[in-house]
Chain A
Amino acid sequence: MSAALKDLLLGARFAVAGGRDGWTRAVLTAVGVGVGVALLLLAASVPQAFAARQARDDARSDLVSSGQLSPGANTVLLGYTDTEFRGDAVRGRLLRAEGTRPPVPPGVARFPGPGEVVVSPALKALLDSPDGRLFAPRLRGARVIGTIADAGLSGPGELAFYLGDGALTERATARIDRFGQAGLEHEGLSPLLVLLVVIIFVVLLLPIAVFLASAVRFGGERRDQRLAALRLIGADPRMTRRIAAGEATAGALLGLGVGALLFLAGRQVAPFFTVWDVSVFAADVRPGLPLTALIVVAVPVVSVAAGLAALRGVAIEPLGVTRRATVTRRRLWWRLIPPAAGLLVLAPMLGDGGVQGSAGQYQAAAGAVLLLLGAVALLPWLIDLVVRRLGGGPVGWQLAVRRLRFDSGTPVRLVNGITVAVAGTIGLQMLFAGAQSQSITETGHDAAGPQVIVQTHTFTDRAGLLSRLRSTPGVTAADASVRLTTQPARPPRAGEALVELREADCASLAHYARLGRCSPGDVFLVRTSESDSAVTAAYRPGARLTLGDDGGGGSWTLPARTRVVTGTQTYDAVRQDAVLVTPGVLRPSQLAAGTIQAYVWLSPGDPDALERLRNTAVGADPLSMVGVQSAVRMDRKFDGIRRGLYIGAVITLLLIAASMLIGVLEQLRERRRLLAMLVAVGTRRGTLSWSVLWQTAVPVLIGMVLAVVFGLALGAVLMSMVQLPLSVSWPVVGGSAGLGAAVVLLVTALSLPALWRLTRPEGLRTE
């Protein structure tokens, strides 16, 4: 065994040996590193989790590929009846087997016959809960014959069902002969989402790196003394470095073990969380091999590097440890490079255009990361600058400021973690708050407009639908029109637009155009300022039209009494030329080729009205779609991610607070004699407590200022990249800065008992 290896092993032994103190230190380091490692493993699992989800999604894909299928023993008619329940997406499919050997969706044991339904476990739980009654009508009384197994779900929290429907026809359905499609092209995440993910990772991982680096230094003071003792008995500086490296490695390896355990335990709780309609199976939370390998290698390397870097600041001599007091003045110029580069990179994306293409995403992510790194780089310089300028004050203040002036390295490192976390949080929260308020303002423009649009696909009984809608509790008003597409009854010319026909009563039609007088039997032709001359020529009284996309409504002649009118600017204005007809003009069979578009107003104080409306819509047409105009859904999504961000930030800050606390405690222990002496000469403990408080508060405060500045900058940049109007959410800024203040108070409060204990007169005795 080589001498170097022996030194490393010796160091490793020191990491865990040494009585109660040694164990405390080892446990602290292991837990600290472990928490960091677990979070890293979690982050490393994200791609895998998405991939697994994607694979299951592909396996149940029911999108029709090209080519017409003819009915056969193995074909199935499939209707999409996706819906939402209280903001959660519900994946719904209607199935009708056309033969005896229909394909069965993944995770489903038996093909549901008419009146039968297979539901996901989460939906089953919903149905069994008190809320089940509100959802049940959407299954139209079908009998639940089983649940969908994991293989057929994107995540454990997914709400989904396959409903057998014997009434399904080819209209508005798809015919398939299998589920699943290999080699689907995936769009990937939207650019905005990629940007967010990258920034969230940076925001959360940078502090974890900081925490990792400080966790391996827990107990550094003792270690230095031990190394000094080794120097006395003949270890040379190189040996001490190797021993220190061994110690750090041992701590990191312990931490890796603890981290792996924490991760395994932690992923078991993953299925209980659903964020943005995404939930994951515990088995999906599996870090990829390359990333795992990277973590396993990088953590010890970082630990050793951090440990050795810490040794640079002290001179370990045979007779003891001396801190290198040479204060190197921190330079500004290179620290300005990252933020400046970040702004430079982001500049082209500001204002119009936003993020475009994948190059744009990388550019944006790089810019945001550079900006955050800028905060990291600037902080030490700023703390130096401020602390040097800080003048007189009470004794507690003076002691704290001097201490910082003497050695700001450790606090700076820790505060850096806080700064990045808070800056990132502010930036992202600003983006979300902006998006949220924007969607609210948009609906605010037309407060009187309808909140919901219902569109049927197989149901054209306008009056019947309206009466059903109006009798739904919580619906205050409804309005509907049948819509058909028309085209001139001659070979179409290239580039000729289809013209929409709307059938409704006079009151409804009045929303679309200035009709003047109107009575049943009237027909109107709407002309707008953007009217196409070709269309104007083709659509005139007496012109012959084909009704429906494929002429399914037969043909019809615009009567001579047709009046030309102009469009309006209401919630459903006609923006192009259109034909408006009153009831009685067209026969129901002519209208059957169309769809109904209904506008619904809901009672504002009734949150369940929307759910009941969806039930009504499904009852009228199982394949109908219900669209919500307001920002309800958007809000909830942002709420989830915002809460997640806050939780992440709080955890990060708690980690940092823990390392700060340990740092303060170590420092107090190191200066036990001095503290006891100060108390002996009559120093008030309050003075010393203030000194501890200031010593934590000053760097954190500076860090917070920097975090707010950079957070606002980041937020502004992000908002302008996704073309949101710039607005500062002060509650977000205040909340984030409040977190920083909480850290200071927490650290101080928790270190006071130790301060009390260490300043007892006994402290004077021990030598």
Chain B
Amino acid sequence: MTAAPLLEADDLHRSFGATPALDGATMRVWPGEVVAVMGSSGSGKSTLLHCLAGILLPDSGVVTYGGRDLSAMSETERSALRRTDFGFVFQFGQLVPELTCLENVALPLRLERIRRGEAERRAAEWLERLEVADLARKRPGETSGGQAQRVAVARALVTRPRVVFADEPTGALDSLNGEKVMRLLTQAARETAAAVVLVTHEARVAGYSDREVVVRDGRTRDLTRAS
């Protein structure tokens, strides 16, 4: 890990009302690595992810991506960054129910104003890669949780992002489906050299990471870095 970090968070503080969610969180993400962010519920790990992805702005502290300070960017620029450089996988409920799986995967490309035909062609490739090509014409409501989650992974990767943010991606799945999603997610991310920030409270999911950062009471303990 000699190259410069891709994503860098330094001493982040963020409160929701009177409740502090982050209280001095610091972490780095290097290109292509899979980092697990672990912690119990309410520890602030999701808030950390949202700050890293520029969805939330910290009250204090700096997040830089590729040397650029996210706080200094406009909302429009951050949105654009999220469209082009980041991908997202959430726990559930992230697919638009009215669109087919194929259209859902094509959505980020379409947001980038790529022609529909081209977008759907690329989306189809990704569905194939995640072994859910047969779901292309189905709606999310007609798929199982594991299948929907794999569609979501395809959607997160279809823009070839440099960082994929995954927030409890297996949280709503059983072990076997969870394993499958994680295997496909990390495998695809490694193939495209995308870094993965994986928020999870499950050790077995964290087992797919290269290293972990522990969040406790809004503070990070980055042990693997220290050793």
Q: What residues make up the interface of A, taking CB atoms closer than 8 Å to B? A: 325, 392, 394-395, 398-399, 402-403, 405-406, 673-674, 677-684, 687, 761-762, 764-765
**Interface residues, chain B, CB within 8 Å of chain A?**
16, 46-47, 50, 53, 55-56, 76, 79-84, 86-88, 90, 93-94, 96-99, 103, 107-108, 110-111, 116, 139, 141
Min CB distance, B80 to chain A, in Å? 7
- Tell me, in angstroms, the Cα distance from A392 to B103 when the chains sit together: 11
Give the docked Cα–Cα distance between A679 and B16 (Å): 20
Partner of B88, one of A395, A399, A405, A681: A681
A681-B50 contact in complex given A392-B116, A674-B96, A687-B111, C-beta closer than 8 Å: no
A687 to B96 alpha-carbon distance, docked (Å): 14
- A680's partner among B55, B76, B111, B116 (CB-CB below 8 A) is B55
Q: A392-B116, A762-B16, A765-B46 are in contact. Are A682 and B56 (CB under 8 A)?
A: no
Nearest CB of B to A755, in Å: 14
A104 to B67, CA, bound (A): 99
- Residues in chain B near residue A761, CB distance under 8 A: 50, 55-56
Among A392, A402, A687, contact of B99 (Cβ-Cβ < 8 Å): A402
Collect the chain B residues with CB atoms within 8 Å of residue A405's CB: 98
Enumerate chain B residues within 8 angstroms of A398, measured Cβ to Cβ.
99, 103, 110
Known A674-B93, A764-B50; contact A681-B83, beta-carbon cutoff 8 A = yes
Determine if B79 and A683 form an interchain contact, defined as CB atoms under 8 angstroms apart: yes
Residue of B nearest to A325 (CB): B141
User: Could you tell me if B98 and A681 are in contact, using CB atoms closer than 8 angstroms?
Assistant: no
What are 21 A-B interface contacts by the 8 Å CB criterion?
A325-B141, A392-B116, A395-B107, A395-B110, A402-B99, A406-B97, A673-B93, A674-B94, A679-B55, A680-B88, A681-B83, A682-B79, A682-B81, A682-B82, A682-B86, A682-B108, A683-B83, A684-B111, A764-B46, A764-B90, A765-B47
Q: Contact between B98 and A399 (Cβ–Cβ < 8 Å)?
A: yes
Q: Other CB < 8 Å A-B pairs besides A394-B110, A398-B103, A678-B96, 6 of them?
A: A325-B141, A395-B107, A680-B50, A681-B111, A687-B111, A764-B55
Nearest CB of A to B45, in Å:
12
In the bound complex, do residue A682 and residue B83 qualify as a contact, i.e. CB atoms below 8 Å apart? yes
B116 surroundings in chain A (CB, below 8 A): 392
Q: Which 7 pairs across A and B sit closest by C-beta, in order of nearness?
A: A682-B83, A682-B82, A402-B98, A761-B55, A406-B98, A682-B79, A761-B56
**Which residues of A sit under 8 angstroms from B97, Cβ to Cβ?**
406, 674
Known: A325-B141, A402-B98, A405-B98. A677 touches B108 (CB 8 A): no
Q: Which residues of A contact B83 (CB under 8 A)?
A: 681-683
Contacts A674-B93, A761-B50, A761-B56 known; A683 to B99 CB distance under 8 Å? no
Residue with the greatest number of chain B CB neighbours at <10 A, chosen from A394, A402, A679, A762: A402
Q: Which chain B residues border A678 with CB–CB below 8 Å?
A: 96
Alpha-carbon distance between A330 and B122 when the two chains are bound, in angstroms: 35
Give the residue name and chain of the A residue nearest to B21 (CB).
A765
Interface centre among A399, A674, A764 (most CB of B within 10 A): A764
Judge whether B46 and A683 touch: CB under 8 Å.
no
Q: Which residue of A lies closest to B99 (CB)?
A: A402
Are the C-beta atoms of B98 and A403 separated by less than 8 Å?
Answer: yes
Chain B residues closer than 8 Å to A683, beta-carbon distance: 79, 83, 111
A764 neighbours in B (Cβ, 8 Å): 46, 50, 55, 90
A677: contacting residue among B46, B47, B93, B98, CB under 8 A: B93
CB distance from A767 to the nearest CB of B (A): 8
Residues of A within 8 A of B86 (CB): 681-682
- Cβ-defined contact, A682 with B111, below 8 A: yes
Chain A residues, CB < 8 A from B82: 680-682
Chain A residues, CB < 8 A from B88:
677, 680-681
Closest to B110 in A: A395
Residue among B79, B80, B86, B107 with most chain A CB within 10 A:
B79
Q: Report the separation of the CA atoms of residues A394 and B83 in the bound assembly, to the nearest whole angstrom.
A: 16
CB distance from A540 to the nearest CB of B (A): 93
A680 and B152 alpha carbons, distance in the complex (Å): 14
A395–B111 touching, CB < 8 Å: yes
Q: Which of A677, A682, A765 contacts B80 (CB 8 A)?
A: A682
**Inside 8 A of A394's CB, which chain B residues have their CB?**
110
In angstroms, Cα B6 to Cα A396, docked, is 32
Bound-state CA distance A402–B101 (Å) is 13
In this complex, what residue of A is CB-closest to B165? A680
Task: Find the residue from A325, A681, A687 having the highest chain B CB count within 10 A.
Answer: A681
B108, A681: Cβ atoms closer than 8 Å: yes
For A681, list chain B residues within 8 Å (CB). Answer: 82-83, 86-88, 108, 111
Bound complex: CA A420 to CA B181 (Å): 52
How far, in whole Å, are A671 and B206 apart by their CA atoms in the complex? 30
Expressed in whole angstroms, the Cα–Cα distance for A673 and B88 within the complex equals: 14
B55 to chain A: which residues have CB within 8 Å? 679-680, 761, 764
Nearest B residue to A322 via CB reads B141
Q: Are B111 and A677 touching (Cβ within 8 A)?
A: no
CB distance from A676 to the nearest CB of B (A): 9
Interface centre among A392, A394, A761 (most CB of B within 10 A): A761
What are the residues of chain B within 8 A of A680 when measuring CB–CB?
A: 50, 53, 55, 82, 88
* A687 partner residues in chain B, CB cutoff 8 A: 111
Chain B residues with CB below 8 A from A762, complex form: 16
Interface-central residue, A398, A680, A682, by most chain B CB under 10 Å: A682
Residues of B within 8 A of A403 (CB): 98
CA distance A673 to B98 in the complex (A): 15
Separation in Å of the B196 CB from the closest CB of chain A?
16
A contact residues around B96 at 8 Å (CB): 399, 402, 674, 678
Which chain A residue shows the least CB distance to B109? Answer: A395
What chain A residues lie within 8 Å of B50 (beta carbons)?
A: 680, 761, 764
Query: Which A residues lie within 8 Å of B103 (CB)?
Result: 398, 402
Give CA–CA (A42, B86) in the complex, Å.
60
| A683 nearest in chain B by CB position | B111
**In the complex, are the beta carbons of B98 and A679 less than 8 A apart?**
no
Please give the distance in Å from A24's CB to the nearest CB on chain B: 22
Using A683-B111, A761-B56 as known contacts, say yes or no to A677 and B94 having CB atoms under 8 A apart. Answer: yes
Nearest chain A CB to B217's CB is how many angstroms away?
17
Q: Complex: how many Å from CA A683 to CA B108?
A: 8
A614 to chain B, nearest CB (A): 69
Cβ distance A677 to chain B, nearest Cβ, rounded Å:
5
B80 to chain A: which residues have CB within 8 Å? 682
Q: Which residues of B contact A392 (CB under 8 A)?
A: 116
In angstroms, Cα B111 to Cα A681, docked, is 10
Of A403, A678, A680, A683, which is in contact with the most chain B CB atoms at under 10 Å from its CB? A680
* Chain A residue with the shortest CB-CB distance to B49: A764
Q: Which residues of chain A are within 8 angstroms of B79 by Cβ–Cβ distance?
A: 679, 682-684
How far apart are the CA atoms of A765 and B199 in the complex, in Å? 14
Q: Are A677 and B107 in contact (CB under 8 A)?
A: no
B19 to chain A, nearest CB (A): 11
Chain A residue with the shortest CB-CB distance to B108: A681
Quote the shortest CB–CB distance from B219 to chain A (angstroms).
19
Query: Distance in Å from the Cβ of B145 to the closest Cβ of chain A?
Result: 14
Q: Which residue of A lies closest to B142 (CB)?
A: A325
Least CB distance from A632 to B in Å reads 58
Specify which of B46, B55, B97 lies most central, judged by the most chain A CB atoms within 10 Å of its CB. B55
The distance from the CB of B111 to the nearest CB of chain A, in whole angstroms, is 6
A403 vs B96: C-alpha distance in the bound complex, in angstroms? 9
Cα A680 to Cα B46 with chains together (Å)? 13
Q: Which residue of A lies closest to B94 (CB)?
A: A677
A402 and B106 CA atoms in complex are apart in Å by 15
Cα A395 to Cα B96 in complex, Å, equals 12
Q: Smallest CB–CB gap between A39 and chain B, Å? A: 36
CB neighbours of B94 from chain A (8 A): 674, 677
Closest Cβ of chain B: how far from A391's Cβ, in Å?
Answer: 9
> Could you tell me the distance in whole angstroms from the C-beta of A402 to the nearest C-beta in chain B?
4
Residues of chain A lying within 8 A (CB to CB) of residue B98: 399, 402-403, 405-406
B-chain residues with CB within 8 Å of residue A765 when the two chains form the complex: 16, 46-47
Question: Which residue on chain B has the smallest CB distance to residue A678?
Answer: B96
Closest A residue to B98 using CB positions: A402
State the CA gap A402–B103 with chains docked (Å): 11
Give every chain A residue within 8 A of B16 (Cβ-Cβ). 762, 765
